[in-house]
């Protein structure tokens, strides 16, 4: 039976950051990842928005928290942040859940830049009630993944086990005794006084193995479409707030990421586990208890990029055209409570004491530092 100070389950940014943080404090950490490489799910397939608060006019708490961590995240990940593009926010003239006055008061309250633009050749003001020049950056998920993989591999205090999942766990005194299944069905036994579940879409599946309570969440198979545009390079637009969308630089890649509230989400599962009808027998690597990599799945949805583009195109003048390059898919998990205010809190629940068990649910990338408050 191998012993570790901590077992961290999940090799996205939250699991990697937790493992590195603990290792730097002198702890021995076992980091388990179901796939054959790190950073393949939500930490890779997202809109790469380094949230400054603008996105949450209906959740001041989420907005304030975004701003709290933005500066530190930017400083510590400087090489992977794109801070040299022009970012606009706009309010649709029709059917928005916020209006210009509300948005201006909200930005004023948060003390974030919001300058009204009354004319601009790239935008269609017949559709826009208001357009604002703001300050928002994006991070590069591909480069972040490379960086965290290198850091994890270089740490002598972290034992990384890929293609591994916990199949059985029980308390044994003040520690968890666990069986870990690795590639080829090999089962090993490990023991640790603390387990951290950072598996995002799979968090309830892992909680079940430990017979611990589940979080009330929903799951959506989501698409991020990548675009290129000559006229709109180095610029971003987010139209608020309701069934609208966003086009903005995907970190330093040279691509623009596109998402729209109406079409990004293909299928929704309201169950505790992400159960979808595409999880058929021919994709054994994807089950509700442990979902797979949607982009690589033969059953992934047909792209909605043409519909998303048609929707977003209405906000631009005729001189702005976009080409769809490709799309990535993943499961987006949301707390059911977020439905009320569209907030994206990061929730850390301690579900067991001695042995300890923490369940991390992350609302956005730059809230990784919340982990430090907990540990």
Ligand X SMILES: Cc1cc2nc3c(=O)[nH]c(=O)nc-3n(C[C@H](O)[C@H](O)[C@H](O)COP(=O)(O)OP(=O)(O)OC[C@H]3O[C@@H](n4cnc5c(N)ncnc54)[C@H](O)[C@@H]3O)c2cc1C
Identity of the residue, 61 or 230, whose beta carbon is nearer to ligand X in the bound complex? 61
- Contacts to ligand X from residues 289-308, by CB under 6 A: 290
Q: Does 238 bind ligand X (CB under 6 A)?
A: no
In angstroms, give the least distance from the CB of 54 to ligand X: 12
- Contacts to ligand X from residues 157-196, by CB under 6 A: 165
- Contacts to ligand X from residues 13-52, by CB under 6 A: 13-15, 32-35, 40-43, 45-49, 51
Indicate the burial class of 252 (C-beta count within 10 angstroms; 0-12, 13-18, 19 or more): middle
Residues in the chain: 375
User: Which one of the spans 57-65, 94-102, 234-242, 364-372 is the region binding ligand X (CB under 6 A)?
Assistant: 364-372
Cα separation, 118 vs 131, in Å, equals 7
CA distances from 327 to 13, 165, 190, 340 (A): 21, 28, 39, 29
User: Which one of the spans 11-19, 233-241, 301-309, 315-323 is the region binding ligand X (CB under 6 A)?
Assistant: 11-19
**Which one of residues 56, 330, 352, 371 is an interface residue with ligand X (CB under 6 A)?**
330
Helices and strands in the chain: count of H runs, count of E runs: 7, 22
CA distances from 150 to 42, 80, 101, 144, 155 (A): 19, 14, 46, 10, 9
**Which one of residues 144, 178, 198, 273 is an interface residue with ligand X (CB under 6 A)?**
198
Cα separation, 186 vs 20, in Å, equals 26
CB neighbours (10 Å) of residue 126? Answer: 9
User: Which one of the spans 91-99, 168-176, 199-207, 348-356 is the region binding ligand X (CB under 6 A)?
Assistant: 199-207
Q: Does 332 bind ligand X (CB under 6 A)?
A: yes
- Contacts to ligand X from residues 45-74, by CB under 6 A: 45-49, 51
Cα separation, 175 vs 226, in Å, equals 45
Question: Contact at 8 Å (CB) between 177 and 191?
Answer: yes
In angstroms, give the least distance from the CB of 257 to ligand X: 8
- The site for ligand X (CB under 6 A) is made up of 9-15, 32-35, 40-43, 45-49, 51, 165, 198-202, 205-206, 222, 224, 290, 330, 332, 362-366
């Amino acid at each position: 039976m191998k012993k570790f100070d901590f077992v961290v389950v999940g090799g996205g940014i939250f699991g990697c950051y937790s493992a590195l943080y603990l290792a730097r404090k002198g702890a021995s950490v076992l980091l388990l990842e179901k796939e054959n490489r790190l950073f393949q799910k939500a930490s890779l397939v997202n809109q790469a928005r380094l949230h400054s608060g603008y996105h949450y006019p209906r959740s001041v708490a989420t907005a304030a928290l975004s701003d709290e961590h933005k500066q530190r995240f930017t400083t510590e990940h400087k090489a992977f942040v794109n801070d040299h593009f022009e970012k606009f926010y706009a309010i649709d003239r029709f059917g928005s859940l916020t209006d210009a006055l509300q948005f201006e008061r909200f930005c004023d309250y948060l003390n974030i830049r919001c300058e009204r633009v009354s004319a601009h050749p790239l935008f269609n003001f017949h559709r826009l009630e208001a357009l604002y020049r703001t300050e928002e950056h994006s991070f590069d998920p591909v480069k972040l993944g490379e960086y965290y993989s290198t850091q994890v591999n270089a740490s002598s205090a972290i034992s990384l086990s890929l293609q591994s999942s916990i199949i059985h766990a029980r308390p044994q005194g003040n520690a968890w005794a666990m069986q870990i299944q690795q590639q080829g069905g090999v089962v090993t036994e490990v023991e640790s006084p603390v387990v951290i579940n950072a598996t995002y879409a799979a968090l309830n599946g892992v909680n079940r193995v430990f017979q611990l309570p589940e979080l009330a969440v929903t799951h959506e198979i989501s698409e991020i479409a990548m675009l290129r545009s000559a006229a709109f390079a180095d610029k971003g637009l987010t139209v608020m707030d309701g069934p609208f969308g966003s086009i903005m630089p995907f970190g330093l890649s040279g691509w623009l990421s596109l998402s729209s509230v109406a079409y990004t989400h293909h299928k929704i599962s309201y169950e505790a586990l992400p159960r979808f009808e595409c999880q058929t027998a021919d994709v054994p690597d994807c089950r509700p208890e442990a979902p797979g990599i949607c982009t690589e799945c033969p059953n992934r949805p047909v792209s909605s990029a043409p519909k998303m583009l048609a929707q977003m195109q209405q906000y631009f003048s005729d001189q702005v055209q976009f080409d769809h390059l490709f799309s990535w898919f993943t499961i987006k998990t949301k707390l059911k409570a977020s439905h009320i205010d569209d907030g994206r809190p990061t929730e850390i629940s301690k579900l067991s004491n001695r042995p300890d068990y923490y369940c991390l649910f992350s609302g956005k990338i730059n809230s990784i530092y919340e982990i430090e408050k907990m540990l």
